[in-house]
Amino acid sequence: MSRRPASYDGVAVCAPVTVPYVRFSPEDAHWWAGRALRLLAQHAQITPADIDGFCFSSFSAGPDTAVGLTQHLGLSPRWLDHIPTGGASGVMALRRAARAVQCGDAEIVVCLAADTNHIDSFRRSLASFSRFSRDAVYPYGYGGPNATFALITDAYMRRFGITRADFGKLCVAQRANAGSNPLALQRKPLTLEAYLAARPIADPVHLFDCVMPCAGAEAFIVTTPEIAAQRGLAAATIMATIERHNALPGDPVQFRGGWAMDIDGFWDAAGIAPTDIDTLQVYDDYPVIVAMQLEDLGFCRKGEAAQFIRKTSFDIAGDLPLNTNGGQLSAGQAGAAGGFQNVTEGLRQIIGQPLGAQVPGAEISLVSGFGLVNYDRGVCTGAAALKALR
Amino acid sequence: MTERAPRERRDPLARKKARHTPPSARSRAMHAMSARAAMGRFVLQVCTKCGTATYPPRDACPACWGELVWQDCKSGGQLLANTIIHATTDLYFRDHLPWRMGTVALDAGPVALVHLHRDLAPEDRVEVRLMLDRGGNAALFALPPDRGFDMTDPQLREFIVPVQGKTVLVTDAHSAIGLAVVKALHDTGAGLIVAGMLPPARLADADHPVLRLLGVQVVPLDSSDQVSLSEALSKIGGPLDIVINTARHVRSGGVSGGTNIVEQRRAFEVAAIGLTRLAQSCGPMLAGRPHGAFVDVISSDALTGSAGHAGFAAAEAARLSLLQAFRHEMRETGVRVLSVFTGPVEDEHHQSVPPPKVAPARLATAIIEALQQGREQTCVGDVASDAMTRWLADPALYAREKNL
């Protein structure tokens, strides 16, 4: 039996920033990282000398890692981390930075994800994504993540009787949420008819099941409640977090993620239940993963996502406001920054700084990450519950 | 009698279709799998400590971190999920969309992503073949079990070399092997068989019934003579799909004693330099074709040398070496370079060699099969199979015992 994790007393999360995404950018990831820091400087009045902890995530900063970024951006942190977990990197940056602050290894940690998207860079980054993908996935039609998730979706639909229309409801709701977010790349209203009529990409995955790769950056600060207050920054506390990698490798096809292993301890540590959540920000590279998270995070039982989706409203003013900035499906998928926007958006909603419409009375948000399709499934999962510090 | 497929043609004025190959970067462990796939084996890594079979190829057992070795495994499985890919950024697959792939639970244990035959649906039992893709790398292909090879499946055709309707050059059709190959090609439905005859041609040669078959065109050809080769190729008048290099110069004799320098030089001219000439002249022609292939008939003596046929074995060893380089050069064009190893053949050159010997017709059948299965390396007959087994197991020991 694993030890009960310590609380996150003495830790505050604040200053979410988003560098507006663009479909293609001629700039490097370093430029996007610099823009995120400039936004933080404006928003939180910090200078390079204030930052004593730095946590970085990117797919396109090569050959540099977090190390190269310190010199490039003039940082001299006493604590440094580089997070390679893609779509789960936001939650993982948050929980690492939180412990660094709590233990006094750093006081102001900037967590930052930045990725560029050149013409053809998606194809190039696929080619060198992982050893298993290079050996045993991409030579099989080179469908990229679309094909891998098509297989997961195919098996999931067959096993649980969930339909394309159910997935469509999620995508339509997220597009409606994106409508109020001026930074979302795709804001044109989406109807269920248009969703269902879209061209196939890799059956059963169709066009509106897929995210749009883009360039962008996201960042937030992890510090102490005292420092946040001194600087006048609205902040949140961390109620609980979980993280898991390569969970349940015996499942022949992924129908659940690592959350399923850890979720009971998560709600126990947070001291709340799923019904206490005001807004849910989950990783949404494909709607099947959203459905899986609804189950694995405890909003409904395994196999019951279809019924749950049918009876729930996911709009900003609905029963369970989901991916309120539009998620990656509508806001855009800026590489590792895509794994940070759940944290920044979840934080924004509870500290009253949303990019678009505000979830009425939001106080607690749940953010969930999912990353790195190393072979046939996503390997990294994590989740965090955030509560406004009032 | 079945109707012969018409010979495939190409519009000489049309811009040539650019040929691409699938992504080729692989890990070292995957290359080890490809080396075994080239021999037609179905292998997986199995842990020497706990017996777990694993895939994709790894460098340690994921169950106990024990050592992994390649083992022949059960090739059955069940299809768990499938998809049809309609969009890709890869140039090769763009040319071949839509492309089917699936998830298979292998009877041997692991789950594998596979190329999928069009007739398969989830829950179906499948037979998984370990084949080589157009880039020469190992790939798993799931087929309906017990149905034989369905060469009409467009996706499967990318992994094999169809013979029907194709133009094939047989470099030495004068020998017993060459005649058998011409006949087998004709029986399989090749469109045009260009039968090279070593000059000076004897009148009786052209009268051989095999060379008078429909679709057989006899041309003078000496692969040790560049002018002769160029003239022969210029007579083809259209695309060339497959070259089957049956040319060889078999003579017994040692090194210090019983040596005939003239024969030894001739063996090198035909087997080694001849291969280079063919590669230079035919390589570019094959590279433009959708299913180009070069088949080399090679002696298993190439593996270790042979005291009794020292010059011949040395020439064949040089030929094998050149063939590896040619295969490397052809990889990015998608042209397959196949080696068919044989021991002594039942022909005029092996009259004094005791059995077992390979019947020319059997060798010819094996060549057709190698093409139609896309198998890169084939051993025909007991002598060649035995030689390959020993050589793979312990090359130093085999070199000793072969030349005791």
Task: Please report whether residue A341 resides in a domain.
Answer: yes
- For residues A76 and A221, membership in a common domain is answered with yes
Question: What pLDDT score was predicted for residue B203?
Answer: 62
State the amino acid at position A51 in one-letter form: I
- For residues A333 and A221, membership in a common domain is answered with no
* CB atoms A147 and B83 under 8 Å: yes
CB neighbour list of residue B360: distance below 8 Å, 6 or more residues apart:
B176, B177, B179, B180, B181, B345, B346, B347
pLDDT at B381 over 90: yes
- For residues A24 and A150, membership in a common domain is answered with no
Task: Please report whether residue A7 resides in a domain.
Answer: no
Cα A298 to the chain's mean position, in Å?
A: 18
Task: Please report whether residue A1 resides in a domain.
Answer: no
Question: What pLDDT score was predicted for residue B1?
Answer: 45
pLDDT at B397 over 80: yes
* CB atoms B103 and A151 under 8 Å: yes
DSSP letter assigned to residue B3: P
Written as six digits, the tokens of B366 are 């094996």
DSSP collapsed to 3 states, chain A: CCCCCCCCCCCEEEEEEEEEEECCCCCCHHHHHHHHHHHHHHHHCCCHHHCCEEEEECCCCCCCCHHHHHHHHCCCCCEEEECCCHHHHHHHHHHHHHHHHHCCCCCCEEEEEEECCCCCHHHHHHHCCCHHHHHHCCCCCCCHHHHHHHHHHHHHHHHHCCCHHHHHHHHHHHHHHHCCCCCCCCCCCCCHHHHHHCCEEECCEEHHHCCCECEEEEEEEEECHHHHHHCCCCEEEEEEEEEEECCCCCCCCCCCCCHHHHHHHHHHHHCCCHHHCCEEEECCCCHHHHHHHHHHCCCCCCCCHHHHHHHCCCCCCCCCCECCCCHHHHHCECHHHHHCHHHHHHHHHHCCCCCCCCCCCCCEEEEEEEEEECCCCEEEEEEEEEEEEC
**What b/e string do you get for B46-80 counting C-beta neighbours within 10 Å, with b at 16 or more?**
bbeeeebbbbbbbeebeeeebebebbebebbbbbb
pLDDT in tens, B340-359: 999 999 998 888 888 999 99
**3-class SS of residue B401:** helix
- For residues A20 and A105, membership in a common domain is answered with yes
Domain ranges of chain B: 28-155, 167-402
- The partner residue sitting opposite B89, judged by closest CB among A122, A140, A152, is A122
How far, in Å, CA of B298 to CA of B199, rounded? 22
pLDDT band at B15 (very low <50, low <70, confident <90, very high): confident
Start-to-end Cα distance in chain A: 35
Contacts A120 to B, Cβ<8 Å: 89
The nearest alpha carbon in chain B to A140 belongs to B115
DSSP letter assigned to residue B272: I
- What average pLDDT does the segment B27-42 reach? 97
CB pairs under 8 A between A and B: 121
- For residues A175 and A97, membership in a common domain is answered with no
Residue after which a domain boundary falls, among A164, A196, A230: A230
State the amino acid at position A362 in one-letter form: A
- What average pLDDT does the segment B262-285 reach? 95
Pairing of strands B192-197, B216-220: parallel
Contacts B89 to A, Cβ<8 Å: 120, 122-123, 126, 142, 144
pTM of structure: 0.94
How far, in Å, CA of A115 to CA of A340, rounded? 11
The nearest alpha carbon in chain A to B141 belongs to A140
Task: Please report whether residue A6 resides in a domain.
Answer: no
**3-class SS of residue B133:** coil
pLDDT in tens, B167-183: 999 999 989 999 999 99
pLDDT at B204 over 80: no
How far, in Å, CA of A330 to CA of A212, rounded? 8
Min mean pLDDT across A170-184, A255-269, B250-264 is at B250-264
CATH number, domain with residue A182: 3.40.47.10
Q: Which of A120, A125, A142, A152 to mutate to test the interface with B (most CBs of B within 10 A)?
A: A142
* CB atoms A132 and B99 under 8 Å: no
- For residues A88 and A136, membership in a common domain is answered with no
Q: Which residue has the higher pLDDT, B151 or A268?
A: A268
The nearest alpha carbon in chain B to A132 belongs to B56
- For residues A34 and A150, membership in a common domain is answered with no
- Average pLDDT score, chain A: 95
pLDDT at B3 over 70: no
Residue A31 burial (CB count, 10 A)? 16
Question: What pLDDT score was predicted for residue A390?
Answer: 84
- For residues A367 and A269, membership in a common domain is answered with yes
Residue after which a domain boundary falls, among A170, A196, A230: A230
pLDDT band at A324 (very low <50, low <70, confident <90, very high): very high
- What average pLDDT does the segment A70-88 reach? 96
- What average pLDDT does the segment B155-175 reach? 95
CA distance B243 to chain A (A): 28
Length of chain B: 404
Question: What pLDDT score was predicted for residue B258?
Answer: 78
User: In total, how many domains does chain A have?
Assistant: 2
Residue after which a domain boundary falls, among A196, A230, A264: A230
- What average pLDDT does the segment B367-386 reach? 96
* CB atoms A134 and B85 under 8 Å: no
Residue B200 burial (CB count, 10 A)? 8
Min mean pLDDT across A58-67, A144-153, B146-155, B285-294 is at B146-155
The nearest alpha carbon in chain B to A201 belongs to B86
The residue assigned the tokens 């064949």 is B316
Task: Please report whether residue A253 resides in a domain.
Answer: yes
> Which residues sit opposite B243 in a β-bridge?
B169, B294
> How high is the ipTM of this complex?
0.93
CA atoms lying within 13 Å on the CB side of residue A57? 33
- For residues A324 and A182, membership in a common domain is answered with yes
* CB atoms A136 and B81 under 8 Å: no
The nearest alpha carbon in chain A to B115 belongs to A140
Question: What pLDDT score was predicted for residue B123?
Answer: 96
- The partner residue sitting opposite B30, judged by closest CB among A135, A142, A147, is A135
DSSP letter assigned to residue B196: E
Domain that holds residue A27: 12-120+215-230
Question: What pLDDT score was predicted for residue B5?
Answer: 73
Phi-psi region of B362 (alpha: psi -120 to 50; beta: other; left: phi over 0): alpha
Q: Which residues of B touch A (CB under 8 A)?
A: 22-23, 25-27, 29-30, 55-57, 62, 80-90, 92-93, 99-103, 105, 111-115, 122, 133, 135, 137, 139
Selection from B250, B194, B242 nearest residue B367 by Cα? B242
pLDDT in tens, A190-235: 999 999 999 999 999 999 999 999 999 999 999 999 999 999 999 9
Strand order in the sheet with A378-389: A79-82, A53-57, A109-115, A215-223, A12-22, A235-245, A378-389, A364-373, A279-282
- For residues A219 and A260, membership in a common domain is answered with no
- For residues A32 and A159, membership in a common domain is answered with no
State residue A129 phi and psi, 5-degree precision: -70, -55
* CB atoms B122 and A158 under 8 Å: yes
DSSP letter string over B29-62? HHHHHHHHHTTT--EEEEETTT--EESS--SS-T
Contacts B100 to A, Cβ<8 Å: 141
The nearest alpha carbon in chain B to A123 belongs to B89
* CB atoms A140 and B135 under 8 Å: no
* CB atoms A200 and B27 under 8 Å: no
Q: What CATH class has B167-402?
A: alpha beta
Q: Which residues of A touch B (CB under 8 A)?
A: 120, 122-123, 126-128, 131-132, 134-144, 146-148, 150-152, 154-155, 158, 199-205, 249, 252-253, 375-376
% of chain B at pLDDT higher than 70: 98
